[in-house]
A and B are shown apart, each in its own frame.
Chain A
Amino acid sequence: MSLTTAVVNHHLDQALSSPLFRKAERQSRFLRFVVDAALQSPPATIKEFDIAVAVYDRRADYDPRTDPIVRVEAARLRARLREYYEVTPPESVRIDIPKGQYVPQFIPVARGPAQAVSDLSILVPPFRSLSPDPGDQNFCDGLTEEVVYKLAQDHRIRVITQSAAAWLEQREKPKPRYLLEASVRRVDAQIRLTLHLMELTGGGATRFSNIYQATTNEIFATQERLADEIRRDLSAALHIDNAGSERVH
C-alpha cells in the first residue's frame, strides 16, 4: 500500500483537530514540524536543535545538554500518539516517532473489520486453579465469567473467550492483542489470585501483573469484588477510563 503526502497530511489534520491534541499546542506544533520535514523531497534532516528553535522558541545558543526540553516533549508526544490511536484507531496511516529519533515513520494501516472498533482486544482463557481440590476450579470458572462480563461493559475493549478464540482462529480473524492469564491458590478460606496481562503482538512482554487476596466467604460477592478490582487495574494499565464512560478531553 503506497501512501501519498495528501493522505498523511489529511491524517495529521484529523489527529491535530482531536481534543487530545487541541489542548497541547506545542506538541501539535512539534508533530506538524517533524511530519512536514519528513514529507519534503528529499526529506529534511531533523535535529533536536531545529525543534527547540522552531517549536520551543529557544535561541541560537540553545544547548540540548543543559535543556532537554525536546527529549522530554518527544517522550510525551509518543505517549499522546499512543493514546490517540487507542481511542481513534487509524484508518489509512499511523504516525510513529521511534524512540531515539525525531524522524516520523508513516505506517500504512490495513484494517480488518474486527479492528474497526478497537484494537484493545483481550483473550481471556479460564482462570486456573492451582489447589488440589477439584471443586476450586468452579470458583475460577465463575470468576472468569465475572471478569469477562465486567470487561465487556467497556465497548472499546473486545473481550475474547477461549471458545470464541477457537472460532476466530478458523476464520483467520486478527489475533487478540493481549492475553489475560490468571491462577488461583487457596489455603483454607484464603485465596490468592495471580494475574498477568501479556502482549501477544511484538515481544510478548508482560504489560501488567498483580496479586490479589480475598477470602472464600460470600463467594459471589468475592468474585464480583475481585472482578471490579481487576477491571479497574486493567483500565489503568491500558490507560483507558472507567468502563462505559467516554473520555472527556
Chain B
Amino acid sequence: MDSNTIRHLQESVALLPTGDLAAVDEFYKRLFELAPEVRQLFKGDMDLQAQKFSDTFAWVIEHLERPHELCQELRALGARHSGYNVRTDQYAPVGSALIWMFQRTLGDRFTPDMEEAWLEFYAFASFEMERGSRELGQPQPVHNPTLESLATGNSKR
C-alpha cells in the first residue's frame, strides 16, 4: 500500500459516525445476506461481536503505517479464524460486505478512490490472514520490545 492508499483508507474511516455501531451492524447484515451459511459461525452475542469488530478495525487503521505489527496481527487473526473453520472462499463476501458498509453509510462521500483503496487493503489483509491460517501451529515471531521500531513507510503490494 502506498501513502495515497493509506490516506484514502484513513479519510473514509474518519467519515464514519463515531460512538455507535450502526455501520458495523450494516456490515453483518449484508454479510449474512450475501453468505447465509456464514451466519452459523457467529454463535455468540452479536452486540459483543460488533464491538470486537469495531475494536479490531480501529486497531488496524491505527497501524496502517506499521506494516510489521500489522502483518503479525492479521496473521494471528487468520490463525484464530482457521479455528472457526473459515475457508479461503469465505473471505470474498466479507470484502463485499465491507465495501457495502462504506457505500451504505457514506453514500456519495465514499469515492471511487476510497473503494479502490479498500479493495487493495482487503486483498492484502485477507491474504495475510490466510497466511496466518496456513502457519497455524508454527511459532510466531515475537516483536522485540527492546528495539523501538518506528515505521514511517509501508509495504506495497
A residues in contact (CB < 8 Å) with B: 23-27, 56, 66-69, 71-76, 78-80, 82-83, 196, 205-214, 225-226, 228-229, 232-233, 236-237, 239, 241-242, 247-249
CB-contact partner of A229 in B96, B124, B126, B147, under 8 A: B147
- Interchain CB contact (< 8 A) of B149 among A25, A229, A248, A249: A229
Which of B17-25, B41-49, B85-93 lies on the face that meets chain A?
A: B85-93
Evaluate contact between A26 and B149: CB separation under 8 angstroms: no
Instruction: Tell me which of A56, A206, A211, A225 contacts B146 (CB under 8 A).
Output: A225
Q: Is the CB of B134 within 8 A of A225?
A: no
Contact with A along B123-154 (1 / 0, CB 8 A): 11011000000110010010010111111111
Taking a contact as CB atoms under 8 Å apart, the answer to whether A24 and B155 are in contact is: no
Cβ of B153 and Cβ of A206 under 8 Å apart? yes
Among A76, A211, A233, A242, point to the contact of B92 (Cβ < 8 A).
A76
A225–B149 alpha-carbon span in the complex (Å)? 12
Contact (A79, B92) CB under 8 Å given A72-B99, A206-B153: no
Interface residues on chain B, size class: 35 or more
Which residues in B have their C-beta under 8 angstroms from that of A206?
Answer: 153, 156
Q: Kindly state the separation between the CA atoms of A133 and B101 in the bound complex, as whole angstroms.
A: 56
Contact of A68 among B115, B141, B144, B146 (CB under 8 A): B115
**A109, B36: Cα distance in complex, Å:** 43
With both beta carbons as reference points, the residue of chain A lying nearest to B2 in the complex is identified as A205
Q: What residues of chain B lie closer than 8 Å to A247, measured between beta carbons?
A: 134
A225-B154 CB under 8 A given contacts A72-B95, A76-B95 = no
